Structure 1
Amino acid sequence: MVVSSSQLVPLIRQWARELGFSQIGIAGVDLASAEPGLAQWLAAGFHGDMQYMAAHGMRRARPAELVPGTVSVITARMDYLPRDTPAGWQAVEFERLARPSEGVVSVYARGRDYHKVLRARLQKLSDRIAEALGPFGHRVFTDSAPVLEAELASRSGQGWRGKHTLVLSREAGSMFFLGEIYVDMPLEPTEPVTAHCGSCQACMDICPTGAIVAPHRVDARRCISYLTIEHAGPIPLALRSLMGNRIYGCDDCQLICPWNKFAQVSSLPDFDQRAGLSGQQLAALFGWDEATFLRLTEGGPIRRIGHERWLRNIAVALGNALRVADAAQAASLRAALQARLAHPSPLVVEHVHWALAQQPP
């Protein structure tokens, strides 16, 4: 099959839809205008413990340095709401947050690890392109290297950067994953779209820890997603009580966003909710031993934080639940916490002691 460059992008879009992708865009590789903002964000220390971000420096904004020979970037969007997501799903999620003794895992993390899903399908898409054109230089990325994926996505028309820094689409809100294929062939860039946040700052107002310090600027060190996933050490004392019952990630800025009334369900079963990760009591989750944790998180994104951080996160949530519990609930929560006082990890034990010190009304 011989395909001209003008025919290629429509074909890529067709193949991508067949593979479960929702949208394809094309970006150029000149991201120089994004470099000052990236440098300022790093200089402010907003990346926290994510030293890989500083280590790669400006290579994040220079695709042709990261992968020599790159002249275009194919960007891909994949919606991830589970197939059985009900109408009014945002209200359902807010109700979970209002039940202090229930553990809340971010919607995206309740199914299969998106890294695995997107990477495999982006590679299949690359293979289809190679079948049509012959061998070509390319590299697939899914949140897996120093790539400014939100910048590339917005430049290629996937959406605009919301004030929470996530990409927003008028057709799909922000409940989607992004992936990229760096390619060594010139493709005509797709047009960016205009921003539609206006004066709305609902995401900034709702952030439990005030991590969105200004429009389009997030201090990761205060972000619950960072604290529960990327951060390896003790959770700062001042932020623990603000985390509520969020034990892996945080969706608040997306739940409140008006554009997410247009969020789309996934066409793939991969992102359906797994049993055991939704609607579970904190005490039950805290009782998982490491073997159970590994078994129930196999193939999912939660496994990457390990059992120790899992227990750390839940201990904080148990302390927050204890603070508002009635007498009967308090006894149950204390019993769950006390069962971990002899845990071999000082990190876990310190958070358990903090949680036990929280007093019910």
Structure 2
Amino acid sequence: MNRSPSPSSSSPAHALADAAGPASDAAQAATSPCEPRASDPSHSSSSVPLDAAALAALATRIRTWGRELGFGAIGISDTDLSHAEAGLAAWLEAGCHGEMDYMAKHGMKRARPPELVAGTRRVITVRMAYLPAAVLSPDAATVQGLPPENEPQDAVDAASRNAGTPRESTHGDWRARERARLADPQAAIVSIYARGRDYHKVLRARLQQLAERIEGEIGAYGHRVFTDSAPVLEVELAQKAGVGWRGKHTLLLQRDAGSLFFLGEIYVDLPLPTDADDPAESAANVPETAGAHCGSCTRCIAACPTGAITAPYRVDARRCISYLTIELKGSIPLELRELIGNRVYGCDDCQLVCPWNKFAQAAPVADFDARHGLDRATLVELFGWSAKEFDERMQGSAIRRIGYECWSRNIAVAMGNALRAPRSDAAMRGREIHESAAQGSALHNRALRADRALDDTARAAIVAALRSREHDESVLVREHVRWALEAA
């Protein structure tokens, strides 16, 4: 995935997997042991002899097949990630992975693909956009009262210096709409990547199809498919394959797609030519270094509500809202609760302020379209779901993994923050949101909360919803509900 709180992933629970910094991919989402193996590289190889010319032709066909399957970019790299080991070790040693014990459990296997899957010689990395097409539609509703996007000049200058003048976006103001919902204390904010079908299922199926096309061409060969569910340094591999560069928020960025995409990999035992070896063959896939086109822009760092981006290319998962609302199973630290605002699952703030996301691409499939109104739901609405309703509605969603208890915990915190919002309209609409992003994370979050006020009716509805679960059977939920009611 391209977003999560650890140094190995590419999704928005969407970048923790890459939080260790440019030298390592620390984990950004849910991970489980390993993907089911399709074929073991340590016990099989191509049944058809392949010389250099045949391998080069196969690599070209792999890219073509990948595009046909909806992948926006396909790159091939070798398996040498030794440069990432020191950063990964330091990130783990500092405890930045929090309670994600699986991050430390696999040790350096993350940076050593052949140790994870014996016989691996190359890694095929793909990306797939997840921003729903309807969000980018010219017919999408506009936001009244918010100013047009105001990109920081240094980021624009950096983009111009490094990549030519960025193209004008034709995608409208989807980021303004997201910011408007963040400014509404009644709104329940679910990270964009998690509003639709579980990306693990979507990418895994298409990666398997790609692997099978290769097998149909050359016969049996050793391979294994991964989708943010194994100890894989996804961003490091993607960067090495020329699929993009690591941004200062630790997510992978691409000039024509921003960062709103998932990553997936196929480990293979085939000595395919890499993008670094043959840039002419791979066309646009020229490997780049971390921050290659970020210039002096630090907007993502300033915009982080909790200050989790502790330095360029480094995230402390323990402060990241994606970690706090997804990976953390216990009580959310008191000092961080107000900073969470109305975010109930994940956080997209660092992506919303990134200038490169003017070029975010539409998802090639409808699977990532928002389900059950998660793009417009209110806190009271979601808090009213029973455990049965949660399980039924979140079937096939990445959200189901956290369970009803943590889901309720998160919403209770957001409701407490709504009650802490001002009682009258603030006069800073829009402008202060932009200004605060440049001044610091705490002010950023306060400005978002203060942009809209709760009226008496909305306030009463939130208090009533909280009191209805003041004696919830879950100790965890009760504790967070009572904290929320302190502001009633």
Common fold, TM-score beyond 0.5?
Answer: yes
Which range moves more in the overlay, 295-304 or 187-196? 187-196
- Aligned partner of 2:250 in structure 1 is 165
My pick for the range that moved more, 215-224 or 266-275, is 266-275
Tell me, what secondary structure is at the counterpart of 2:266? strand
Aligned pair partner of 1:69 in 77, 99, 119: 119
**Structure 1: 5+ residue runs without aligned partners?**
none
Q: Residues 24 and 158 of structure 1 are in contact (CA less than 8 Å); yes or no, is this contact kept in structure 2?
A: yes
| 2:107 pairs with one of 22, 40, 57 | 57
AA in 1 matched with 2:183: A
- Matches of 2:233 and 2:326, distance apart in 1: 20
Answer 1 or 2: which has greater helix percent: 1
When the two structures are aligned, how many residues end up with a matched partner? 359
Q: Which residue of 2 aligns with 1:26?
A: 76
Counterpart contact for 1:150–1:167, Cα < 8 Å:
yes
Alignment match, 2:25: none
**Structure 1 position 100 matched with structure 2 position 209:** no
- Rounded Cα–Cα distance in structure 1 between residues aligned with 2:244 and 2:125: 11
For residue 135 of structure 1, the aligned residue among 215, 220, 234 is 220
- 1:309 is matched by which residue type in structure 2? C
Query: In the alignment, what sits opposite 2:457?
Result: 328
CA deviations 1:298-357 (Å, max 9, x no partner) are 111111111001000000000000111343332211100001112111000000000000
- Give the corresponding residue for 1:122: 207
Report what 1:262 is aligned to.
359
SS of residue matched to 2:375: coil
CA distance in 2, matches of 1:357, 1:181: 50
Letter of the 1:53 counterpart: M
Looking at structure 1, the residues matched to 456 and 65 of structure 2 have their Cα atoms a distance apart, in angstroms, of 58
Could you list the runs of 5+ residues in structure 2 that have no partner in the other structure? 1-46, 137-171, 277-286, 422-453
| SS of match in other structure, 1:321 | helix
Deviations 1:217-268 (A, max 9, x none): 0000000011101110100000000011000000000000000011100111
Distance in 1 of aligned mates of 2:455 and 2:74:
51
Aligned to 2:377: 280
Q: Distance in 1 between matches of 2:274 and 2:87?
A: 23
- SS of the aligned residue for 2:133 comes to coil
Aligned to 2:288: 193
SS at 1:241 equivalent? helix
In the alignment, is residue 346 of structure 1 matched against residue 346 of structure 2? no
Residue pair 1:276, 1:296 contacting (<8 A) in 2 also = no
The farther-off stretch of 320-329 and 271-280 is: 320-329
| 1:228 aligned partner | 325
Report the secondary structure of 1:76's partner residue: strand
AA partner of residue 71 (structure 2)? F
What stretches of structure 1 move > 6 A for 4+ residues in a row?
Answer: none
Shift of 1:358: 1.8
Q: Structure 2 counterpart of 1:55, which letter?
A: K
The equivalent of 1:205 in structure 2 is 302
CA distance in 2, matches of 1:280, 1:341: 22
Which segment drifts farther, 129-138 or 17-26? Answer: 17-26
- 1:355 paired residue number: 484
CA distance, structure 2, for counterparts of residue 105 and residue 296 of structure 1? 14
Q: Tell me the amino acid that sits aligned with residue 240 of structure 1.
A: R
Alpha carbon RMSD of aligned pairs, Å?
1.2
Q: CA deviation at 1:17?
A: 1.3
Q: Could you say which residue in structure 2 is the equivalent of 1:299?
A: 396
Counterpart Cα distance in 1 of 2:353 and 2:186: 22
Counterpart residue type for residue 482 of structure 2: H
1:14 is displaced (CA, Å) by 1.2
Greater shift, 162-171 or 84-93, is seen at 84-93
Amino acid at match of 2:288: V
Tell me if 1:214 matches 2:311: yes
Residue 332 of structure 1 aligns with an amino acid whose one-letter code is A
For residue 172 of structure 1, report the CA deviation from its aligned partner: 0.5
Equivalent of 1:40, from 62, 87, 90? 90
**1:266 alignment partner AA:** A
- Among candidates 297, 311, 335, match of residue 408 of structure 2: 311
The residue type equivalent to 1:292 in the other structure is: E
Provide the residue aligned with 1:14 in structure 2.
Answer: 64
Question: 1:83 maps to which residue?
Answer: 133
Structure 1 window deviating more from structure 2 (10-19 vs 342-351): it is 10-19
More moved, 187-196 vs 335-344: 187-196
For the residues of structure 2 that align with 1:227 and 1:317, how far apart are their CA atoms?
Answer: 13
**CA-to-partner distance for each residue in 1:90-149, whole Å, 9 max, x for gaps?**
111000100011101011011100000001110110000000011000000000100000
Alignment partner for residue 338 of structure 2, among 232, 241, 245?
Answer: 241
Please report how far the alpha carbon of residue 193 of structure 1 lies from its aligned counterpart in structure 2 after TM superposition: 2.5
User: CA offset at residue 78 of structure 1?
Assistant: 0.5
Contact 1:122/1:179 (<8 A) preserved: yes
